[in-house]
Structure 1
Amino acid sequence: MDTAAGSSSGSARNAAPTMLALALLFVLGVAAIYHGTDKFRVVSTEEARRLDIAEHPRKVPDAALSDAGGRKLDLYRTLGQDGRVSIVTFIYTRCNVVCSVLGNEFQQMQQTLQQRGLQHQLRLLSISFDATDGPAQLSSYAIRMKADPQDWQMLSVDTAAQRSSLLNSFGIVVVPAPLGEFQHNAAFHVVTPDGRLSRIFDYDQPEAALAYALSLSSRHPQIAQKNGEDSQAEARTGAAL
């Protein structure tokens, strides 16, 4: 009896350090997951990046651009020229899959903005990452998409270095595929007039992207000032009549 009791006591003592070690590993594992998922709020690196952008909007790099008419522009001036918030997508004009989805959603957004008279608050920008997309290709794409250039612009980036920098800042990954095609991710990117990437929405969330962009436009100082100036101009016109 004494031998059995001693054996049980020894087994318990030997098991105690093992249980303690397992408990410590569990606590450390939970702590690692807690920090790695930003307090359990995200489950992937991309979600963490999007959450960080939502909480800390980041400045995007400037880039030399060309539009469908062959005009030379730059991104900062395009974003800030009239105080409108922009929704930006990245496409290539020969794409018949996800780019078509983005184009169709932009058509709906354009129609919504025009019907509600909100063009002065928001613009749509489709930026090609394909070096072979020149003004002719952009113009053909714009016609196919029925894009109004006042509300929806088609643009290409002039240099490979700036194209790469811009794609990296927006989190766009482009992989060449057979037959000159590309595999790429897609999203709606909301950018403020001062060039800050403020929020990213999946390409199947167009309504959320539009609603957020419009709410942001009402809060942005440049847009509030522009709206105030428009209202004063309308009032002066009415008084003159």
Structure 2
Amino acid sequence: MAELLGTQLGCALLLAALAGATAQLTDGLQAWTYEELRQRSAARGALQAPPMALRDAGGQALELFGGGAAGAPVYLVDFIYTRCPTVCQALGSEFHRTQEALRAEGPQRVRLLSVSIDPRHDTASALAAHGRLHRADPALWTLAAPRSEEAGRLARKQLGVVAVPDGFGGYVHNGSIHLLDAGGRVHGIFGYAQWPQALAQARALAAAAP
């Protein structure tokens, strides 16, 4: 009898621990996918990009998200690699549509930023070719790569961006649009087909900035 009670107690403790871990991993049982978890974290202000040292398609150095000066732009950011034949091409098409919507409205403080997850292969010329393919206007849309692979990994880790080698020389990765202010705080995460919603929230954030 004592052994049975001990077994039952052990099972109860194990189930309680499992329930607690499940609640923690699913944000109180409210989110069941990884992207939902990231979206909820962004809504709480819990995602923050580190300062990013980048090089653009012209080979110029960029330093982004290291501060939040008044009047600085807000950014819609995606993570790509130029050899990607699938989701990155869809992201490029949607960013082009976003760019044209921005162009139609005249000057404003919203910028598009595509950051490479493969800086070893995504040289300035590769980024420039990708930009030409998607008709990127450098005044509105910057394509860039981290100046070191470690810096890129750190930025993705802090933002929860997944980029896993697929065994064929490419990557399996998130296909999301991230809304960041100039200080690097993430204000929203959107699927690439949700670019109109991402743009609307970016406009609102830019309008509310000092």
- TM-score, normalised by the number of residues in structure 1: 0.72
Distance 1:153 1:39 in 2: 38
Distance 1:107 1:160, change over 3 A: same
Give structure 1 stretches of 5+ with no counterpart. Answer: 1-20, 222-241
Paired residue secondary structure (1:108): helix
Structure-to-structure mapping, 1:1-241, within 5 angstroms: 32=20, 37-76=26-65, 83-117=72-106, 119-130=107-118, 131-221=120-210
Distance 2:126 2:45 in 1: 36
Higher helix share: 1
CA displacement, residues 21-74 of structure 1 (integer Å, 9 cap, x when unaligned): 9xx99xx69x85666644553233542332122122533111221101111112
CA-CA distance at 1:82 after TM superposition? 5.4
CA-CA distance at 1:95 after TM superposition? 1.1
CA-CA distance at 1:189 after TM superposition? 0.2
CA displacement, residues 122-169 of structure 1 (integer Å, 9 cap, x when unaligned): 000001111211111011111111111010000000112111101112
CA-CA distance at 1:183 after TM superposition? 1.6
Larger RCO of the pair (alpha carbons < 8 Å, separation 6+): 2
Q: CA RMSD in A?
A: 2.8
| Number of the residue aligned with 1:228 | none
Answer with 1 or 2: which has the greater Rg. 1
Give structure 2 stretches of 5+ with no counterpart. Answer: 1-8
- TM-score, normalised by the number of residues in structure 2: 0.82
8 Å contact kept, 1:67–1:155: yes
Paired residue secondary structure (1:58): coil
